[in-house]
Structures are given as structure tokens and as C-alpha cells.
Structure 1
Amino acid sequence: MTKILVTGARGQLGTQLLRRGATLGLDVVGLGSGELDITDPDAVAAAVRPGSVVLNCAAYTAVDAAESDEPAATRVNVDGPRTLAEATARVGARLVHVSTDYVFAGDATVPYEPDAPTGPRTVYGRTKLAGERAVLAADPAAVVVRTAWVYTGTGSDFVATMLRLQRERDHVDVVDDQVGSPTFAGDLAAGLLELAGRDAVRGVLHATNSGQASWFDLARAVFAAVGADPERVRPCGTAQFPRPAPRPAYSVLSPAAWATAGLTPLRPWRAALEAALAEVPAVCD
């Protein structure tokens, strides 16, 4: 059985990979940032084994903080992935590196294909794009998987925040001028584990739940799913919530290359949301 190493394993995606890998009976080991510094060549060399698959979920994801701390973002999003890719190429392991819709400008009107022109507008996006390029330069057999709007419904992600706010507030204002594909981390994890078993697949792919929605649409769907009145969610514009890092207005990623590679398409986002909420039943109390 191929050994799978998950880096960044304490985050929402890494946690789902470990859970689903165990359910499938796979040999999956997870290391968080406190257990493996992916920028340390010696530590990485000791962790990466010949013939294994490395699923890299480690990333600097504090989008706003990155605007004033580019060196830290570069270290984790560029130097770390490069170090992993150098190690996998050296010992004959396989690297699957998770990236983001933020590598695009967010000004498209049709879903982005993997080879669409990039144009990140944030430090986070620029460092993630540089990380992609570093990975593919160091290990041409690696796979980069871009995703977007990932959630589990726990912790502090958008869905979890809406679950909390529907209990605490009479009304919630949510932006309706940013569009993407809400993606349940559990579904993405299942897709990545399937990809881990496809040695011939390489290059850049996109993986999100299918369909598209605004944050406003997603918030209303969350309210409705737990029996709260969706009319309590009110639309507003991005300008109402200024942030240090601009958010992409359009983040829909095309699944065509994923399907062409013979991988199972991720289900529609509304069905995925229902499944995610079923895993956190306490929110309905």
C-alpha cells in the first residue's frame, strides 16, 4: 500500500484527509506545522519516503495579514513547497500541492481553466502562484490542485460563522458581488485521495464542488438548511466591508481538466453543504 504523507495536517483540509484516509483503510500519516517545518530541507528529507505520495496542505492563508508580512507568506507558500518538490523529485515520491483561486485576477466571466492567464492581486495570491511555479520547476511530475471557498462548517470558516450568526443576530449583511464555488473540505479530500492513486496525472488541475454562488447565496443556503429564515440574510456590496487584501470578484474554477484526467467530479455545492452540515448536527439545536 502506498504511504501518503499529509503536510499541514492540522488544518481543515488536512484533518479531512486524515479522517477519510482512515475510513478508506489507506496508510495516511499527517504532520502539522509544529511537527514538520516544510522549509527545513533536512526535516523534509527525513519525512519524505521513496514511492510515497505527499499531499501538501501547508500554507500561509492569512490573506489580509500577508499584505504586511510578505516574507512570512513567501517562506511558507514558496520556499516550503519548493523544498518538498525537491525532496519528492530526489527520492522518487509524488507531490500533490494544493493551491488557490487567488492566483487569478478575479475579473473573468466564465470559469477559469488551469491554463488561463493568471494575475494575482494580493500578496497571498502572488506567493501561492510563485509556489506553484517552484513546485513544477523542481518536480515536473508533481500535480498542483487549485481550489476555492473551502469550508467544513466548524471553527471559524464562512459556513461556521454563518451558523453562529444565525443564532446571535436578527439580520446579517453578506456580500453578493463576489462569486465562486463553495467547496466542502471533505469532498475535496476525497478527490485528492483519489488523485493520489493516479500516478500518470500531472500538471495543474482545478477541484471545487460544482456550480456557483455568491457569499450571499451561500449564507442564505446555510440559514435555510438549519431552519432559520433566509430572509434574515441581506445583500450588500464588497465596498461595505473593506479589507487590506482585495477579494476576487469571480472565483469559479472549471472542472474540465479534472474530469479529463479521469477523476470523479465533485458534487454540486448545495448537496455538499447538506452533507457538511450533517457532520456538525449540534448547529441545529
Structure 2
Amino acid sequence: MSGLLITGASGFLGSALMAAAGPGAVGLTSATDVRDLAALSVAFADAAPAVVIHTAYRQHGPEAAAINADGAGNVARAAQAVGARLVHLSSDVVFPGDGDRALREDDPVRPVTEYGATKAAAERLVLAADPGALLVRTSLIVGGPGHAPSPHERLALAAARGEQDVQFFTDEIRSAIQVDDLARALLALAETDARGVVHLGGPDAVSRLQLAELVVVAAGLDPAALRSRPAPPDRPRHCPLDSRRALALLAPDRHPRGVRAVFAS
């Protein structure tokens, strides 16, 4: 896909996007600091993209808020300056997860984790800078058999091998999605004129424990080796995503697979 710029291009999702987009895409890695608006503006002006997909983020640490929130606002401003369409990646953890149904785009945003708070702040800053942007909230991203493993998969495998002491939550429910499926869907959404917020998760709602079990079984390991417990009060519990709005914008061959099918392949 020509005219495309991807931030976080060396990350798990960014790498999949670069591969799916082909040689016409330009990738920005962490060498370009999204907190530095001047440097970002130069990079955007040099690339002159028609579309920007912003995937760069930081999960933990003292820099997470500035990278996730302020950096997203800078990306939106830089995209606006070059007239590019912006697709911004957000997360299901902007929600508290205290309900009992799949989450819709207009449900109240009320994060209960620090990371969720940074992503919620990023949404506000992006839409303030670029009201025409498309914000895509997604969930846990996995690779599946035959693909490089995500951090979630590496953790499950390490736990099953006795290399790491981890307890997987039995009641934190998410809409895990395969990374290549997500990348293809994002590229298709970028070609639409949709704006605002859409949800895009996989169709299977699974707990952290169930996801770990799928990973372990697919690798030929014993799922009985996994330890589990309920999620603590400071975790978002029920966060499956209602993705009907995004799916209506996508051709059927761009709909993501359920993770049960992914790990059975």
C-alpha cells in the first residue's frame, strides 16, 4: 500500500502491518520519538503520507503516559499538517470491565489501570487534534501457530515449562485477535471514510487462562501446568468487544478469525 506511514513499525503489530502493506509503506521505529513534535513533523513531511496508522505505545514505565498520550496527540497534529488520514490504535482497557455484555463504542470510558488511563487520554488528544481520525479499539494480540509469538504467548509457554511463576486470570474476558488478521483489517479500514471510534476484536471471548491454555496446547505442552486465579479488583474483568460496526465496514475476507480457530490450525 503506497502512501502509508506506520508508527511503531518494529513492534509486533507494526511489523505485521509493514509486511501486509508491502514495499510502498514507510515505517517509523522508536528512533523517531513521538514525544518530539518537531522531529515527528519533519519525518511526516519527508514521507508525505496519505494515511498514517499509529501503533507505537509503551505498556509500562515512567515514559508510558508521555509516549501513549502526548505522543498520540503529536502524531495526530503531524498527520493533520500533511493532510493524512489517521488510524489510531486504542485498547479495550479504556473500559472498567464491570458489565456483563460486549462493549460498544459509546459505552463510558473509565479505565482502572494506569495503562488504560494513558490510552483513554490518547483518545481524547487524538480526536481534539484530528476530529476526522479513526480510533480502533482492539484487544490482546497474538500470533498463533507458525507465527512469531506475542508477549502473551511467550508468557504462557514460559509458565507451562516452569520457567516463570504466573497465575492466569479466570475471569478477565477479552476478544483476543490474531495479528495478521488485525493488520489486514486495519489496512482495509484505512481505505474507508469511517471516523470516530470502532471496536475490532476477535469473535471469541476468552479469559486470560483460556487463551494461555490454547497457546500451550497448540505447542504440545500440558495445560494442567498453568496456574490460575480470579483477577484482582484493579483489573478490568469483562471486556469483550462488540465489533459489529467495524465488521460492517469490512469485506467478509477481512473479518478476523476466532482465536480457537487460529490455535487449532
Q: Same fold by TM (over 0.5)?
A: yes
- Looking at structure 1, the residues matched to 184 and 250 of structure 2 have their Cα atoms a distance apart, in angstroms, of 14
Structure 2 unaligned blocks of 5 or more: none
Identify the match of residue 50 of structure 2 among 44, 52, 73.
52
Which has the higher mean CA deviation after the structures are superposed, 201-210 or 254-263? 254-263
1:247 aligns with 2:235: yes
State how many pairs are aligned.
Answer: 258
TM-aligned CA deviation for residue 202 of structure 1? 1.1
Q: Look up the equivalent residue of 2:239 and give its one-letter code.
A: S
Give RMSD over aligned pairs. 2.3
TM-aligned CA deviation for residue 51 of structure 1? 5.1
- What residue in structure 2 maps to residue 230 of structure 1? 223
- Looking at structure 1, the residues matched to 204 and 184 of structure 2 have their Cα atoms a distance apart, in angstroms, of 18
- What residue in structure 2 maps to residue 190 of structure 1? 184
- Looking at structure 1, the residues matched to 122 and 181 of structure 2 have their Cα atoms a distance apart, in angstroms, of 24
Identify the match of residue 143 of structure 2 among 122, 142, 152.
152
Q: Percent identity at matched positions?
A: 36
- Normalising by structure 2, report the TM-score: 0.88
- Normalising by structure 1, report the TM-score: 0.82
Decide whether aligned partners of structure 1 residues 170 and 113 sit closer, same or farther in structure 2, where only a CA change above 3 A counts.
Answer: closer
- Looking at structure 2, the residues matched to 192 and 217 of structure 1 have their Cα atoms a distance apart, in angstroms, of 26
TM-aligned CA deviation for residue 144 of structure 1? 0.5
TM-aligned CA deviation for residue 196 of structure 1? 2.0
TM-aligned CA deviation for residue 261 of structure 1? 2.5
- Looking at structure 2, the residues matched to 234 and 84 of structure 1 have their Cα atoms a distance apart, in angstroms, of 40
TM-aligned CA deviation for residue 45 of structure 1? 1.6
Q: Look up the equivalent residue of 1:31 and give its one-letter code.
A: L
Is this contact kept in 2: 1:184–1:273, CA < 8 A?
Answer: no
- Looking at structure 2, the residues matched to 127 and 226 of structure 1 have their Cα atoms a distance apart, in angstroms, of 34
TM-aligned CA deviation for residue 228 of structure 1? 2.5
1:219 aligns with 2:212: yes
1:18 aligns with 2:18: yes
Decide whether aligned partners of structure 1 residues 175 and 27 sit closer, same or farther in structure 2, where only a CA change above 3 A counts.
Answer: same
Is this contact kept in 2: 1:171–1:232, CA < 8 A?
Answer: no
- Looking at structure 1, the residues matched to 49 and 168 of structure 2 have their Cα atoms a distance apart, in angstroms, of 46
Decide whether aligned partners of structure 1 residues 170 and 112 sit closer, same or farther in structure 2, where only a CA change above 3 A counts.
Answer: closer
Is this contact kept in 2: 1:99–1:132, CA < 8 A?
Answer: yes
1:33 aligns with 2:36: no
Decide whether aligned partners of structure 1 residues 269 and 172 sit closer, same or farther in structure 2, where only a CA change above 3 A counts.
Answer: same
TM-aligned CA deviation for residue 187 of structure 1? 1.5
TM-aligned CA deviation for residue 181 of structure 1? 1.5
3-state SS of the aligned residue for 2:161?
Answer: helix
- Looking at structure 2, the residues matched to 4 and 217 of structure 1 have their Cα atoms a distance apart, in angstroms, of 36
TM-aligned CA deviation for residue 151 of structure 1? 2.6
Q: Look up the equivalent residue of 2:197 and give its one-letter code.
A: V
Decide whether aligned partners of structure 1 residues 128 and 171 sit closer, same or farther in structure 2, where only a CA change above 3 A counts.
Answer: closer
Task: Give CA-to-partner distance per residue, 1:136-162, whole Å, 9 cap, x none.
Answer: 111111111111112336466121222
Decide whether aligned partners of structure 1 residues 57 and 230 sit closer, same or farther in structure 2, where only a CA change above 3 A counts.
Answer: same
Written as runs of structure 1 = structure 2, the 5 A alignment for 1:1-285 is 2-22=2-22, 27-34=24-31, 36-48=32-44, 49-50=47-48, 52-62=50-60, 65=61, 69=62, 72-152=63-143, 154=148, 157-168=151-162, 173-198=167-192, 200-239=193-232, 246-262=234-250, 264-274=254-264
